């Protein structure tokens, strides 16, 4: 698609930031397994933590295509950071904007969008990932509010978050209509991090097992109304899938750029290796696969901007992009040969970071199921 001047300006601004501030430090972030809090506030000052939120609430008021372009550039600089930014925008800020009361918006939107409070979306459990209707975390009504008990698994930013959006069962007999979303400040007594997971990639973005032991919440912690938690969770996943697809495009572009630059410099048998058909054809296939996936992502984003249904397109974008990035990172490593296998060139980190994209926000199999039903 052809971008507007404003969209190009946003893309270029984020690209300059990502390449200048993130990419040179990405390996250190990974080694530290964390980010400095000041970085989140810097992202907030750039408007990247509440991109599509209205300006009346302190957001950037950008269109969804611009948001996707920004995520692509952030992921090209550091894939793990783009995961945090994606959840912050699509689920946390987006969820509070869509379902929150004015009091909840007044309390949480500012800190979330300024990067002062990182949010965690707590839906997945050890035995309830894709099958969200099988969650066991319970919230029981009390005279003063709700008592929350249970555990969550694979929760991004569970350790650093100041606010968690927790999906819990409030009426076990009502099935999907018996779930409720709660906004839980992480300093509430009874909220604890059971374990910080050690992962294949995205080490700087913490992934945690959480526990809730008699967490007492007031009535105004309910987000979107009692019994509407399942709808709240699923309505935000559409946006989240486009965000993860954008993340894939950014990491794939970074890998392709490294491979092309190396192929133009490395000489073998008297010529640059990009001139060898085996290498040139591989790069051509990688570039074509990337461009096809990029257009699927931008198309889904454009549909979102137009207010049109885009669940199928979002699933197609995530499926295509998440599978493309693995092939492109693998092809880039192959192009560099032994050097690609080393940490020095950055491809090893990209390969690690991208692999989860076929798993979270719905596995590739789940995307195929949804697309198949639409057919």
Q: Which residues are catalytic?
A: 361
* CA distance linking residue 202 with residue 4, whole number of Å: 32
* CA distance linking residue 22 with residue 79, whole number of Å: 10
* CA distance linking residue 59 with residue 277, whole number of Å: 49
Range list of H helices, 78-192: 79-87, 94-99, 102-113
Cross-strand partners of 165: 121, 183
CB 93 within 8 A of CB 50: yes
**Quick one: tokens of 308?**
């049109």
CA distances from 102 to 34, 47, 215 (A): 33, 21, 24
CA distances from 235 to 145, 204, 231 (A): 25, 28, 6
What is the DSSP secondary structure assignment for residue 125, as one 8-state letter? B
* CA distance linking residue 37 with residue 19, whole number of Å: 19
Range list of H helices, the chain: 5-17, 26-32, 37-45, 64-77, 79-87, 94-99, 102-113, 229-265, 277-305, 311-336, 347-354, 364-374
* CA distance linking residue 32 with residue 48, whole number of Å: 23
């Amino acid at each position: 698609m052809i971008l507007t001047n404003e969209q190009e300006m946003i893309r270029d601004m984020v690209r300059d930031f990502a390449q200048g501030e993130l990419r040179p430090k990405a390996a250190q972030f990974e080694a530290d397994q964390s980010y400095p809090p000041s970085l989140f506030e810097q992202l907030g000052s750039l408007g990247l933590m509440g991109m599509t939120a209205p300006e009346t609430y302190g957001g950037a008021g950008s269109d969804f295509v611009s948001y996707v372009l920004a995520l692509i550039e952030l992921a090209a600089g550091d894939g793990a950071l783009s995961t945090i930014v994606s959840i912050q925008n699509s689920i946390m800020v987006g969820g509070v904007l869509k379902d929150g009361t004015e009091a909840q918006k007044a309390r949480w939107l500012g800190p979330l969008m300024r990067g002062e409070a990182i949010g965690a979306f707590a839906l997945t459990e050890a035995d309830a990932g894709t099958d969200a209707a099988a969650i066991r975390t319970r919230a029981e009504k009390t005279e003063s509010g709700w008592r929350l008990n249970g555990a969550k698994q694979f929760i991004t930013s569970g350790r650093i978050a100041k606010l968690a959006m927790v999906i819990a069962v409030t009426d076990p007999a009502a099935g999907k209509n018996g779930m409720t979303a709660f906004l839980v400040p992480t300093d509430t007594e009874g909220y604890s991090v059971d374990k910080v997971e050690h992962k294949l990639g995205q080490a700087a973005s913490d992934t945690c097992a959480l526990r809730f032991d008699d967490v007492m919440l007031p009535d105004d912690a309910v987000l979107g109304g009692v019994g509407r938690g399942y709808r709240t969770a699923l309505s935000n996943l559409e946006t989240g899938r486009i965000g993860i697809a954008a993340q894939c495009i950014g990491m794939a572009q970074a890998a392709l750029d490294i491979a092309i630059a190396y192929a133009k410099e490395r000489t073998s048998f008297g010529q640059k290796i990009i001139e060898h058909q085996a290498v040139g054809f591989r790069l051509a296939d990688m570039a074509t696969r990337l461009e096809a996936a990029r257009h699927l992502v931008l198309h889904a984003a454009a549909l979102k901007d137009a207010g049109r249904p885009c669940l199928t397109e979002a699933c197609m974008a995530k499926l295509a992009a998440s599978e493309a990035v693995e092939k492109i990172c693998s092809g880039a490593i192959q192009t560099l040969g032994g050097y690609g296998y080393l940490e020095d060139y950055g491809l090893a980190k990209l390969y690690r970071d991208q692999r989860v994209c076929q798993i979270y926000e719905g596995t590739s199999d789940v995307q195929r199921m949804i697309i198949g039903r639409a057919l």
